[in-house]
Structure 1
Amino acid sequence: MFKWHDRKSDNFIVQLPEGRLEGGYKLSLSLRTHELHTGVGTNMETKLARIAEIAKRQPQEKFTSMYHLLNKELLRQCHEELDPNKATGVDQVTKAKYAGQLEENLEDLVGRLKRKGYRPQPARRTYIPKDEKSKRPLGIAAYEDKIVQSALNKVLQQIYEQDFLDCSYGFRPERSCHGALIQLDQIIDKQSIQFIVDADISGFFNHVDHEWLLKFLTLRIGDPNILHLIRRMLKAGVQEEGRLEPTEEGTPQGSIISPLLANIYLHYVLDLWFEKRIKRQSRGKAFMVRYADDFVCCFQYETDAKEFYEALIQRLKEFNLSIAEEKTKIIRFGSYAEEWYKRNGGGRPSTFDFLGFTHYCSRNAKRTSFRVKRKTSAKKYKNKVKTFGIWMKQHRHEKLEILMATIRKKLTGHYRYYGITDNHPNLVKFKREIEKALLKWLNRRSQKQSFNWESFNQFLKRNPLPEPRIYVNIYGKRKAKAFVQ
């Protein structure tokens, strides 16, 4: 059904549909556009569903007529779905302000899209804490650009959701971090896994190669107007403290369409390569679980793990990416790891971090069988406590009922993510740290009123915080797609 092309110069392994010329990107097949305009339903949801249907039914199909879908109906829907509380871009336009003249604004936007006069504005660069020592750059798009990105994202998603592999979990409908964790647990527990390659791509979002990304897109998208629009988005630049900086590479984190473009890039660079090359050439079992640019690879044999690691370095290099060697390691991990360490001088099996959790080898409650357990990673835990302390200092003078309501939401959010099987002790520990920070900053609200531990406990009885709770049973429900944030 598919041909696979392995160029000696760049090790470029992607799906090549039937009819594609071996040396080029031209394809004889095209989307039968009448399928989008005939039938029972003609609303936007129906049109999008038909794109998904065609993409699934014809994995070789190249879509050549899609730009017309960025119409007023879809743009209006995207406007309505945008969060009114999100930060503004360089235009300083809020949802409320844009809605003040919604019809005129949408008509103007549609007109510019039709005549190819629409140009995305530079993203406003801001930073959020990544850990104790570093910050993560975000690119905040202008409001109108958010609408267009959202519309384009909806259209492209119909196609690529049919193409993406099961190993990919990040920023996809009906998938989540918890689903990735459950899938990883199943693999390690059921597939004779003994070695883990814990890999980290260095600054992935900042180093996505625009030309490679556009080449990947042409494998499924044949509409030049869509490709031109994406190129303009990629090249829009960023603005920081009034300075405009060009964007020759990368896709800014924080934009609506960035996660999808990142998934498309890694689908071709990593997922298909692992599925079609690494799995087939491995002597034993091999699996990968990926959430955006964070991924873990599992192997039955050490030789396969080592050979994959060396191949991965070269593979990423071909696409202008690199491994963060200080964050990448091969470890012995699995049902026989503890026994191996006992036979070879003692010690405990190594651990690895994935999606904010430290994974470690352990036993079940009766100590009769192997079990992977997870706890909040020390780095994430420390950063969460510090971040809350900073927030508490900044908001200590708010009205008490508002302050406590926000703290309850923050704690519940923490429990919902980190509340997984075996991690209850860390939830209890985290709640205690929150209470300490709360006591500290409540006592600094006023010199006239202060708490000791006894009076503070009475205060908490009147203003209770939510108790730690396990929200995700890793072992009770084995359907990895069932847990959606």
Structure 2
Amino acid sequence: MKIKNLKRQKLRNNEYYNMQIVFDELYEKSKKGKIFKNELYELIIDPHNIELAFRNIKNNTGSQTKGTDGKTIKNLISKTNEEVINLVKGKLNNFQPQKVRRVEIPKPNGKTRALGIPTISDRLVQQCILQILEPICEAKFYEHSYGFRPTRGVKNALARAYTLANISKCHHVVDIDIEGFFDNINHGKLLKQIWTLGIRDKRVISIISKMLKAEIEGIGKPNKGTPQGGILSPLLANIVLNEFDHWINTQWLDFPTIHEYANSSNRHRYLRRTNLKEMFLVRYADDFKIFCKSNSDAVKIYNATKMWLKERLNLNISQEKSKIVNLKNNYSDFLGIKFKVHSKGTDKENKKYVVKSFVSDKAHTHILKTLDEKLKCIEHSSQKDTLKAISNYNAYLIGLHDYYNGATHCSVNFAKLAYSILPRIKKFKIKKKINLDALSNFIRERYGKSKQLINVCGTYLVPISYIEYKTVLNHSQNSIYTKEGREKFHEQQKAVKTENIVYLIKNPITQRSMEYNDNRISKYVAQYGKCYVTKRLLSVKEMHCHHITPTHLNGNDHYNNLVIVNEDIHRLIHASTEETILQYLNVLQLNKNDLERLNNLRIKANMKEICL
């Protein structure tokens, strides 16, 4: 799922569980400087917040990862709503985090990155806390930090960097690399920063403190750092560096002036006559750059930043990786993309410069290696596994295209990749004829015009070099925690009445699992509140949620195994006696198409077809 779609889905989830209004109020109050002393804990344990947290982590790929207790989301989905709510409340009442599982994952440079995986129940607790704290923090966060924040992403960070180089003519960049940022976060300092943001519910701060000190399996209790892999970790990382963001901002953009200026242009014109150094920060998580106008300014900013990070946050920078870059002469790497400025036009006195960007050298090497490995998997896979291997290869390549189309010269890089990988592709038995009808709708729409599609074993490899630059856009600075801001990203669902969804949330089927009740809401909206068989609008009190494959035939509560039907239709699906069948047929007056849909459900429920 694309990031944009995923974020929109989270907004939809907020609507389903009637929590958006709560988040909006928290954001507005935080924006006005409110101090939150006692109410946050009660919001965290609110049943609707817990149900929303379950929905948000349920389909997350990380939910299938085991913690130290060996459990995954599968161990939670069978529990009822009440059982899950009581589980979270019980854990938070006297919170003691379980041990964190340490996992080493390879990095492109051959080294490894340590991840800390909490247990699934602790992740659910973290999600509950995240949902309440995020709107409060969003109101206080710096406008040009883009990592792990709602509606923001890599493309917005790149757009800001390009704008500063192209428009603001900031061609000197301070590249700072913090040594082991996540492993060296000071716990005491972080808790004070949380307090400073107005989060002063001592029960919540106590829980976060215990989370930070959760024992890591095989290592022990940490005295610093926050494990990458925890749901709350990205928010905590942004809280740590938010102080730095605002410090940089007050050195220029928000520097206080005695006179009130009508617009920022006049203000900046005045500031340029002072000894202040013009600087602009762009940050994505712990990867950030400071743009400035001259090398002398860059040197001073580099030294000041190094000193500030050490003195205020007790963080060291990597002398080897941190540097000053003149974009007219050298490339600067940012989020897997390298960029510099090139002169444009023939006017030597008033030279204009424009950004040119490419896939970074490190990323290029890693992509080439990964593509080669995935093609090897296709080459050596058995006949039954070939389609899966091709699907895996295509998904990876589509993801690359979606990410790296933010580089202005991405087509050049991917043409080189295609040429380098060509010997590997030539080993396949390639069919030259392309049947567009055999392509999936997505592949046909996106790659159907390409002459580089390759038919392997009756399916198609996505062409490596079929990519073009897509203009990256600056973030609008609208917030999803305001109605006006939300409308820019997301349209409120109008498929069914909001009060009907609220009714379903407040009236779950108590003997059924939380997964069932959650998917029941999704199906009701997806079917526009209509019966699957008759296509007639249903009131919530007459709707039933039917298992396509019944539970006694090993059916589950997954979304694809559920369908919303009229109460009488549901009885008719399971009816076995001729008398009962005739009774409901007389009441329902089904047409030919209705009967066909009904019989499909009866057959899958191991019931006989109804013949008229």
Per the TM superposition, whether the score is higher than 0.5 is: yes
2:166 matched residue in structure 1: 189
- Measure, in 2, the Cα distance between the counterparts of 1:153 and 1:430: 40
Using a 3 Å threshold, how does the CA distance of structure 1 residues 261 and 438 change in structure 2: closer, same or farther?
A: farther
Using a 3 Å threshold, how does the CA distance of structure 1 residues 357 and 434 change in structure 2: closer, same or farther?
A: same
2:215 matched residue in structure 1: 237
AA of the residue aligned to 1:161: E
Deviations 1:380-426 (Å, cap 9, x if unpaired)? 11122223444555674252222111211111000000112321111
Which of 397, 405, 412 is equivalent to 1:419? 405
- Measure, in 1, the Cα distance between the counterparts of 2:425 and 2:230: 34
- Measure, in 2, the Cα distance between the counterparts of 1:162 and 1:358: 32
AA of the residue aligned to 2:335: L
AA of the residue aligned to 1:124: R
2:294 matched residue in structure 1: 301
2:467 matched residue in structure 1: 469
1:94 matched residue in structure 2: 72
Which runs of 5 or more residues in structure 2 are unaligned? 1-15, 256-273, 434-451, 479-487, 490-612
AA of the residue aligned to 2:246: L
Which of 35, 43, 47 is equivalent to 1:69? 43
2:324 matched residue in structure 1: 330
SS of the aligned residue for 1:254 comes to coil
Using a 3 Å threshold, how does the CA distance of structure 1 residues 459 and 330 change in structure 2: closer, same or farther?
A: same
2:276 matched residue in structure 1: 283
Deviations 1:179-209 (Å, cap 9, x if unpaired)? 0000111111111313111111111011000
Alignment of 1:334-353 (within 5 A): 337=328, 349-353=329-333
The reply to whether residue 163 of structure 1 matches residue 163 of structure 2 is: no
CA contact (8 A) 1:289 1:297 kept: yes
1:209 matched residue in structure 2: 186
Using a 3 Å threshold, how does the CA distance of structure 1 residues 320 and 391 change in structure 2: closer, same or farther?
A: farther
Which of 142, 154, 157 is equivalent to 2:131? 154
How many positions carry a matched residue from both structures? 413
CA contact (8 A) 2:187 2:212 kept: yes
Deviations 1:11-59 (Å, cap 9, x if unpaired)? xxxxxxxxxxxxxxxxxxxxxxxxxxxxxx9943322221111112x12
Alignment of 1:330-479 (within 5 A): 330-333=324-327, 337=328, 349-363=329-343, 369-393=352-376, 396-397=380-381, 399-420=385-406, 421-433=408-420, 436-437=423-424, 451=429, 459-460=455-456, 462-467=458-463, 468-470=466-468, 472-474=470-472, 477-479=473-475
AA of the residue aligned to 1:331: V
- Measure, in 1, the Cα distance between the counterparts of 2:393 and 2:376: 13
Using a 3 Å threshold, how does the CA distance of structure 1 residues 149 and 364 change in structure 2: closer, same or farther?
A: farther
Deviations 1:68-105 (Å, cap 9, x if unpaired)? 11222211211122135421211221212211123354
Alignment of 1:247-266 (within 5 A): 247-266=222-241
AA of the residue aligned to 2:404: Y
Using a 3 Å threshold, how does the CA distance of structure 1 residues 437 and 254 change in structure 2: closer, same or farther?
A: farther
CA contact (8 A) 1:375 1:426 kept: yes
CA contact (8 A) 1:361 1:370 kept: yes
Q: How does the TM-score come out when normalised to structure 1?
A: 0.78
SS of the aligned residue for 2:251 comes to helix
CA contact (8 A) 1:183 1:480 kept: no
AA of the residue aligned to 1:416: D
Higher relative contact order (CA 8 A, sep 6+): 1
- Measure, in 1, the Cα distance between the counterparts of 2:374 and 2:113: 18
Using a 3 Å threshold, how does the CA distance of structure 1 residues 248 and 466 change in structure 2: closer, same or farther?
A: same
Which of 175, 186, 193 is equivalent to 2:152? 175
CA contact (8 A) 2:251 2:276 kept: no
- Measure, in 1, the Cα distance between the counterparts of 2:454 and 2:20: 54
Deviations 1:247-305 (Å, cap 9, x if unpaired)? 1111111211100000000001x101111236648634210100000001011132221
AA of the residue aligned to 1:274: I
CA contact (8 A) 1:180 1:480 kept: no
2:592 matched residue in structure 1: none
CA contact (8 A) 1:124 1:139 kept: yes
SS of the aligned residue for 2:460 comes to coil
CA contact (8 A) 2:97 2:214 kept: yes
Using a 3 Å threshold, how does the CA distance of structure 1 residues 64 and 302 change in structure 2: closer, same or farther?
A: farther
Which runs of 5 or more residues in structure 1 are unaligned? 1-40, 338-348, 443-450
Using a 3 Å threshold, how does the CA distance of structure 1 residues 47 and 81 change in structure 2: closer, same or farther?
A: same
AA of the residue aligned to 2:292: F
The reply to whether residue 313 of structure 1 matches residue 306 of structure 2 is: yes
- Measure, in 2, the Cα distance between the counterparts of 1:128 and 1:391: 18
- Measure, in 2, the Cα distance between the counterparts of 1:213 and 1:458: 53
CA contact (8 A) 2:174 2:323 kept: yes
AA of the residue aligned to 2:220: E
2:502 matched residue in structure 1: none
Using a 3 Å threshold, how does the CA distance of structure 1 residues 394 and 139 change in structure 2: closer, same or farther?
A: farther
CA contact (8 A) 2:394 2:461 kept: yes
1:103 matched residue in structure 2: 81
